Amino acid sequence: MGKRRFNTTGVCAPAYDYMVDISGRVDAVRKMVDAGEYFAINRPRQYGKTTLLSALARGISQNYICARVSFEGLGDESFENAAVFCDALMSKIRMALKRSPAGYEPAYADSWMDSSVSDFKRLGEHITKMCQGKKVVLLIDEVDKTSDNRVFIHFIGLLRDKFLSRKEGLDDTFQSVILASVYDIRNLKVKLISEGVYSASERQGRPLNSPWNIAAPFLMDMSFHPNDIAGMLNEYEADHATGMDVARVSDAIYEYTGGYPFLVSQICQILDEDSALLHDWTPRGARNAAKVLLNQVNTELGANTLFDDISKTLESHHDIYEIIYDILILGKHWNYILSNPTIQRAAMFGIIKNRDGAAIVSNRIFEIYITDYFSSKDSQNRSRGHITGYREDIIHNGRFDMECCLRKFAGLFREIYSENKRTFIEEHGRMLFLVYLKPLINGAGFYHIESQLTDQRRMDLVVDYGLDQFIIELKLWYGESAHEKAYEQLAGYLRSKNVTEGYLMTYDFRKDKKSDIRAEWIEWNGARIFDVTL
């Protein structure tokens, strides 16, 4: 066995890859298999579904006949009709059993192929014969990889009927069936109707009851928590003796990734393999690895597929776009209620998660990417206009001058935007600053919005550039007392970050305001704040 590495390109295996210990999760799933449950693992892309199925198959193969198949690459032609689908499924099961390291009887594997099976009635009879007196577990990965799943709906309807008959002692069928996908299988019929797969005449009177309504709930948290990450890093440290503070590095990786499995592995892979970072296993190194990851979005590395999926989701689901813009840019509160179909879809795609009943963006890396996506969209929208800054005015000897940046933005803002655009500015003024800031820090830094602190009256923005970090609060003007409260809020936030210097920029839309821009340093409760009102 060669040197283990962090894997971001497929299923993880402990013999080859550094990986989080998921044995507890596998044991929990095995209990569901032992109980004869049928269920679906619906999680976002690159969230560890395939790795969990692989580990489960290894763990149960001595007690069950385990057929682990995938619809990845199966092709739409396999779903043309029942006969073609049945043949493809039987072939997949036969091949899975033949290749299984458990060494199942070759004759049993071969007997899964039956040329007389040409419809679902015969397939049901064949499954009965193949499962009689045996405990067979069927695992199907990537079940939403086809564009027209009507045939598959009939198949899982067959599995449901046989499951119910088994409970009454009237049939033999699979011990357990596990389906893994992004889309919730229970809502697959609704998805097909909404996408126009069913024609108007087909939809007429068509019931929306789920073909998978016998499924047990699968509520497992598959994200990686700091202690999970620490266990993986302890294995790495035992091999490489970097001297890292495992707890601090694990916390830093979690801070950027929110425990999203692919992003955790990607950050670790960059720290391990990117020579520019010199194996900087520190919180600073984790931050720099996040910057490298975000700069790799348009490369051939693995990160781009995940971010591409986010972009495509925002482009094709206008309702999700609007909610994420509300949450991230406008600071509006959305309750995390899965009965709201837009919230449900955004969570299904992994873009949002639940925090104390509120919907927030899932992790800091997504916040940075989506904010950058929104600012790019806004800068392309000429009807909104944007303000351009010049790097040579603001960056000197590799250091970013935030005071100069804010002064220049305030001057250009006051010069370009007039009262007749007031309504737009009140809603989107903060985005104008992000659009202004983005090209100034590109390549050497990034910014993120502290979404857990964002509300309609304030936005907390953290800008990293080189070794420097700047904390900026953006607010609308609501009077002198509210402005003093903003000082206190910012000072408290600075203390929580163990820094003493921050920036406050306030948009003032009073008709009777003074025409000059206020820009000055003030001292407030132990903090030094650069206060700009424009």
| pLDDT tens digits for range 310-366 | 999 999 999 999 999 999 888 888 999 989 999 999 999 999 999 999 999 999 999
Structure confidence at residue 211 (pLDDT):
74
Structure confidence at residue 2 (pLDDT):
58
Better pLDDT: 517 or 457: 517
- One-letter amino acid at 217 equals P
- Give the CATH number, domain containing residue 63: 3.40.50.300
How far apart are the C-alpha atoms of 68 and 62, rounded to whole Å? 14
Please list, in sequence order, all residues whose beta carbon lies within 8 angstroms of the beta carbon of residue 355, skipping any fewer than 6 positions away. 336, 452
Residue 383 scores a pLDDT above 50: no
Tell me how many helices (H) and strands (E) the chain has: 20, 16
- DSSP calls for 96-163: HHHH-TT---HHHHHTT--TT--SHHHHHHHHHHHHTTS-EEEEEE-TT-SS--HHHHHHHHHHHHHH
Q: pLDDT tens across 365-377, in order?
A: 999 999 889 888 8
Q: pLDDT tens across 460-472, in order?
A: 899 999 889 999 9
Please list, in sequence order, all residues whose beta carbon lies within 8 angstroms of the beta carbon of residue 224, skipping any fewer than 6 positions away. 20, 254, 257, 259, 260, 261, 264
Q: What are phi and psi of 33, to 5 degrees?
A: -65, -45
Token pair 């989107």: residue: 428
How far apart are the C-alpha atoms of 217 and 340, rounded to whole Å? 19
Better pLDDT: 301 or 188: 188
Return the DSSP state at 199.
Answer: -
Return the DSSP state at 131.
Answer: H
Cα dist. 403→393, 456, 474, 521 in Å? 11, 24, 14, 10
Residue 346, domain member (yes or no): no
How far apart are the C-alpha atoms of 67 and 57, rounded to whole Å? 8
Nearest residue to 90 (alpha-carbon basis) of 64, 70, 65, 117: 117
Token pair 């990607």: residue: 266
Residue 300 scores a pLDDT above 80: no
Using alpha carbons only, how large is the chain's radius of gyration in Å? 27
Structure confidence at residue 302 (pLDDT):
44
What does DSSP say about strands 501-507 and 518-524: parallel, antiparallel, or unpaired? unpaired
pLDDT level of residue 301 (50, 70, 90 thresholds): very low
Q: Kindly state the average pLDDT of the residues 183-187.
A: 73
Task: Say if CB 43 and CB 113 are below 8 A apart.
Answer: no
Among 156, 175, 203, residue at a domain's last position: 203
Task: Say if CB 400 and CB 468 are below 8 A apart.
Answer: yes
Q: pLDDT tens across 483-515, in order?
A: 999 999 999 999 988 999 999 999 887 766 666
Residue 217, domain member (yes or no): no
Return the DSSP state at 225.
Answer: P
CA triple 451-390-477, angle to 5 deg: 40
Give me the torsion for CA of 165, 171, 176, 179, rounded to 10°: -70
Better pLDDT: 206 or 63: 63
Structure confidence at residue 382 (pLDDT):
45
Task: Say if CB 475 and CB 504 are below 8 A apart.
Answer: yes
- Would you mind telling me the total number of residues written for the chain in this entry? 534
Structure confidence at residue 278 (pLDDT):
78
Mean pLDDT across the chain: 87
The total number of structural domains in the chain stands at 2
Structure confidence at residue 289 (pLDDT):
93
> Which of the residue ranges 8-17, 145-154, 202-211, 514-523 has the most confident prediction, judged by mean pLDDT?
8-17
Which pair of structure tokens corresponds to residue 416? 């370009």
- Which domain covers residue 144, as residue numbers? 21-203
Residue 463, domain member (yes or no): yes
Residue 172, domain member (yes or no): yes
* DSSP-derived 3-state class of residue 528: strand
Q: pLDDT tens across 9-34, in order?
A: 889 999 999 999 999 999 999 999 99
Nearest residue to 184 (alpha-carbon basis) of 51, 64, 40: 40
Return the DSSP state at 517.
Answer: P
Range from 44-58, 385-399, 415-429, 509-523 carrying the lowest mean pLDDT: 415-429
Residue 319, domain member (yes or no): no
Structure confidence at residue 345 (pLDDT):
92
Residue 403, domain member (yes or no): yes
Q: What are phi and psi of 54, to 5 degrees?
A: -65, -45
Residue 271, domain member (yes or no): no
Q: What percent of the chain has pLDDT over 90?
A: 63
How far is C-alpha 262 from the chain's CA centre?
Answer: 9
Structure confidence at residue 196 (pLDDT):
53
Residue 209, domain member (yes or no): no
> How many other C-beta atoms are found inside a 10 Å radius of the C-beta of residue 298?
10
Angle between the N-to-C axes of helices 150-167 and 82-99, in degrees from 0 to 180, rounded to the nearest 10: 70
Nearest residue to 458 (alpha-carbon basis) of 471, 447, 442: 471
Task: Say if CB 505 and CB 406 are below 8 A apart.
Answer: yes
Structure confidence at residue 200 (pLDDT):
47
Among 155, 172, 203, residue at a domain's last position: 203
- DSSP calls for 265-291: HHHHHHHHH-GGGTT--SHHHHHHHHH
Nearest residue to 482 (alpha-carbon basis) of 520, 502, 510: 510
Among 188, 203, 218, residue at a domain's last position: 203
User: Which residues pair with residue 438 across a beta bridge?
Assistant: none
Would the pTM count as exceeding 0.85?
A: yes
Structure confidence at residue 299 (pLDDT):
47
